[in-house]
Every structure is written in structure tokens, then in C-alpha cells.
Amino acid sequence: MRDFYSRSYQLYFVYGSNMNNEQITSRCLNPEVFAIARLSNYKIAFFGYSKTWDGGEESLIREPGEDLWGVIYKLSFSDADRLDAWQDVRLDGNGSHFLYPTDVVDTEGNNYPVLLIKKDMLGKPKKPTEEYLSYIVSGALFHVLPPEYIEKLKKIETKKASFPVPKKSKFDRSILANLSCDCDDYGTSMENGLGLRTEISANR
């Protein structure tokens, strides 16, 4: 039986900009690469608007016959909380993203139950910026994803950003590193965490 919370860590499957080592290490204190893996019958797609990158933001959609490749990270619970906060995943369900449990298969055929972060409201597809897609491709190259998949990523239609990207947030997100669910005052911690996440969302 799948039980994500019986372990002392979490397995997160990332497939977009969080594959970029610069980004994941700025959001998590000790992200550990666990495996390269694929999610069958899904593909990466872009929706909404990222204020950071001036274009569509990554999510995934079902696509029979396709494989969505990415990286499984082994994260401590505190690092998982940090990553959730960066992506505006909220306990009350009102964030822009949510956690989606699924199973992925690594390059040796091993199956792993994982969590992935998925955009809540999709709407119509939007082009990502050239710069954003290049950032994602850099992460795919860094982790040596299958060459044919990387070539497919490179062919995604893009647009040019209208201002220098990535745009830095005015909010100091390093504050999130001090949020943890092992605080003595759990209620105060969660209330503060949700408030911070609301401010983050406004600056995304």
C-alpha cells in the first residue's frame, strides 16, 4: 500500500524548472537526486503567466503514448515544505499548485510512488519564453535525460521575454528556510506559513 507519510523523507518528481540545479538548491537545503525517471502517458505543457519568466508556466497534461521525463529528488520533510511554499502549494487547497501522487519508472524499470507539483488552473496553453525553456533544457542536460526527449523539449514553441528574466522577487524567500512543522507553536507556524505563501503568490 502506498503511504507517503510513513517514510522519513519524501520522493518528489520534478519535470520543469526545478530540474535546474541552480533553482532546486536555492529552494531546498539538501536536495538529493534519487533517480532519473519517466511518467507514462503525460507530457509537459505551459499555461497561465509567470511574472518571473514573462510567459507560460509549466505543468503536465495527459497525452497517451508520451513519456514525461524528469528527476526524482529525495527530500526531507522540511525541504518538501520549502519547495511546496515556493510553488504556492497550500494546506487549505487555495494555492496556485497542488501535490499530485503518482508512480514513475526509472531507467532500470523500477517503480516508485512519488509526489509531483501540478498547476491547479490550466486554461488555454500559453507559450513559455525562450529563456524559460532554455532554463528547463539546461536542467535536463545537467541530469542527462534521454537525448531524444531533450530534443523534443527544444522544439517547444516559445516567445521572447519582454523584459530581462528571470525577474527577481521583491520578497526575500530565504525566510521560508525558517518555517518548519516541528515548531512548538504549530498553529502560529502554519498561520505564518500561509501568510508568507500568499505574499509569494502575488510576486510569482
Q: What is the reported pLDDT for 187?
A: 42
pLDDT tens digits, one per residue of 156-177 = 999 999 999 999 876 655 465 4
List, for residues 6-59, the tens digit of each pLDDT value: 678 999 999 999 999 999 999 999 999 999 999 999 999 999 999 999 999 999
> What local confidence, expressed as pLDDT, does residue 197 receive?
45
Q: Which of 30, 47, 38, 49 lies closest to 13 in space, CA to CA?
A: 38
Q: Please report, for the domain that includes residue 20, its CATH number.
A: 3.10.490.10
Question: Can you tell me the mean pLDDT for 132-145?
Answer: 98
Q: Identify the bridge partners of residue 103 per DSSP, sorted by sequence position.
A: 113
Helices (H) and strands (E) in the chain, counts: 5, 5
Please tell me which residue, 115 or 180, carries the higher pLDDT value. Answer: 115
Q: Name the average pLDDT for the chain.
A: 86
pLDDT at res. 188: 40
99: left (phi over 0), alpha (psi -120 to 50) or beta: beta
- Residue 172 or residue 63, greater confidence: 63
Compute φ and ψ for 61, nearest 5 degrees.
-135, 155
For residues 68-74, give the mean pLDDT.
98
Which of 36-40, 63-67, 91-95, 187-191 comes out lowest in average pLDDT?
187-191
Domain extent for 9: 4-202
Cell numbers linked to 128: 513559455
- Given this model, what pLDDT does residue 173 score? 54
Domains of the chain: total: 1
Q: Which helix (H) or strand (E) holds 84?
A: helix 77-86
Grid cell, residue 32, equals 538529493
pLDDT category of residue 71 using cuts at 50, 70 and 90: very high
Q: What is the mean pLDDT of residues 109-113?
A: 98
How confident is the model at residue 140, as a pLDDT? 98
Percentage of the chain beyond pLDDT 70 is 80
Predicted pLDDT at 7: 78
